Every structure is written in structure tokens, then in C-alpha cells.
């Protein structure tokens, strides 16, 4: 009997050692993933149509965390470890940026930087003015969109910033709720964000009191959207494997954003 007890001890010890090694491997893997997520890249899913025609609902984008430096919002759950930004760099006008909604500091939004600190931004009859200069635009072929369950044509334009940077926008007409605004002066340390889908975007044109974004503080920036990694139509579901193929949008895979 005693021999059986003694022979079982090494087996238990070996099983315990193996369990500890498995746990250590999992912890190391999680720590490496966390470091990569905090310092380098983070994936985000596009939840709405506010950035059409450049980003569609169901796009999976990769955001570089190092582009603008690091704040507490670079870390999951935004722990209050420090204030401001470390290794801060200013985004360029026209960058597509993920940021935390200023009103709650938790919700991720994605928009395009239109106004830098000190800029004057205004919409007049659906046209964008930055520092009292019209942002030039040229018509593109129209696209279709769903409005209250009905498909309708929507105008598309190619806008050109004063830096020469170009990108496409969508517009339902010159008389929408956000097509005529007061002049917004961007405070120091803040940015003015707009969606490319100009009449379907709650952005810096809408104050936080009206469920909008308002001006975005620099320390709320999370990172720069660089590439669409993968894309599926909104109808796709993780619980319906056949939709992984049928509702995929391969033409949008690995598309570099501009």
C-alpha cells in the first residue's frame, strides 16, 4: 500500500507543474497581446454609416496607437494612471482618427480631423470652409444609400484640402440640419472632427448637450485608422457560418485609408 502512495506523488507533482506552465504561458500571451494593443495596433469595428463612402458598417480597421503618442485612453478601460499625452504628436488635417467621446470618456468614435487648434470651421449651404477658405470639391458618380428603409441616390464629391490631400464625401443636399452652421473656433489642445457622410454624422458640429461630439481634447485621441483589414455586410453573424463567405466584402480587404 505504501509503495502505491509513493509512486503517485511524482505523477501529481508532474501534473501540477504542467498546469502551472500552461497558466504561465497563457499569462505571458495575454501580456504580450496587451502590450501590442497598447503600444502598436488595435482593431476596431465600424458600427455606423457616418464615414461612408470611405468606411462602411462592418469594416474592421487597424488603428496605429503610436501615431499621436499615448494617453490614458491608449490603455483598455482608460485607467487614470496619468494626464495628458506622452510622446505627443499632432494629427494632420484629414487624418481618420479613433477617439473617446468627450462626454463620457468611454465610447469609441471614428471621424476625420477637419479643424486643428486655432482653426475656424464653418458649413455654408453644405459647403465646408476652413479658415474662411472654401474646401474645393469635385462631383463624383452618385451612390445609393438606405434612408428610412428606402433606397435613394446620394451625391458624392472629392474634396481637396489646402494641403493637397483628397478624400470622398457623401451629401444628401445643401439644406440639411448641419449644412449651415456658425463659425466654430477650435480651442487650443482640441480638434474638430467631421464624418465623411456629411448629413448622417453626429460630430463636432453637434454639441455634447445635443448628443453630439463637440470639440475633442487631444488626450482623447486613441490612434490613426490606417487600413481596412476585413469587411462584412451588417447582416453577417458569427453564429451563422455561411454568412462569413456570403456576406464578406473582399473588395474592401486590406484597403489602405486616406
Active site residues: 50, 111
Residues 217 and 190 sit within 8 Å (Cβ to Cβ): yes
Round to whole Å and give the CA distance between 192 and 184.
9
Round to whole Å and give the CA distance between 60 and 57.
9
Round to whole Å and give the CA distance between 154 and 158.
14
**Residue-wise DSSP of 44-107:** EE--SSTTTTTS-TTEEEEEESSTT-B-GGGSTT---S-SS-BS--PPPTT-EEEEE-TTTS--
- Reply yes or no: is the peptide bond before residue 57 cis, omega within 30 of 0: no
Amino acid at each position: 500500500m505504501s509503495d502505491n502512495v509513493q509512486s503517485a506523488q511524482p505523477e501529481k507533482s508532474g501534473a501540477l507543474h504542467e498546469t502551472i506552465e500552461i497558466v504561465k504561458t497563457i499569462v505571458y500571451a495575454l501580456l504580450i497581446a496587451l502590450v501590442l494593443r497598447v503600444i502598436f495596433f488595435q482593431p476596431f469595428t465600424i458600427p455606423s454609416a457616418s464615414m461612408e463612402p470611405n468606411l462602411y458598417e462592418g469594416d474592421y480597421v487597424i488603428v496605429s496607437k503610436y501615431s499621436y503618442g499615448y494617453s490614458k485612453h491608449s490603455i483598455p478601460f482608460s485607467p487614470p494612471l496619468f494626464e495628458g499625452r506622452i510622446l505627443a504628436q499632432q494629427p494632420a488635417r484629414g487624418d481618420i482618427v479613433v477617439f473617446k467621446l468627450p462626454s463620457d470618456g468611454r465610447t469609441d468614435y471614428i471621424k476625420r480631423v477637419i479643424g486643428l487648434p486655432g482653426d475656424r470651421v464653418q458649413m455654408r449651404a453644405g459647403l465646408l470652409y476652413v479658415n474662411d477658405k472654401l474646401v474645393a470639391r469635385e462631383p463624383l458618380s452618385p451612390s445609393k444609400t438606405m434612408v428610412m428603409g428606402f433606397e435613394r441616390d446620394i451625391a458624392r464629391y472629392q474634396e481637396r484640402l489646402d494641403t493637397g490631400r483628397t478624400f470622398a464625401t457623401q451629401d444628401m443636399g445643401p439644406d440639411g440640419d448641419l449644412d449651415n452652421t456658425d463659425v466654430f473656433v477650435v480651442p487650443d489642445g482640441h480638434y474638430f472632427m467631421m464624418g465623411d457622410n456629411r448629413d448622417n454624422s453626429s460630430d463636432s458640429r453637434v454639441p455634447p448637450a445635443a448628443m453630439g461630439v463637440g470639440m475633442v481634447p487631444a488626450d482623447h485621441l486613441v490612434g490613426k485608422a490606417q487600413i481596412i483589414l476585413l469587411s462584412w455586410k451588417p447582416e453577417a453573424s458569427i453564429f451563422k457560418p455561411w454568412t462569413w463567405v456570403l456576406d464578406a466584402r473582399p473588395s474592401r480587404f486590406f484597403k489602405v485609408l486616406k
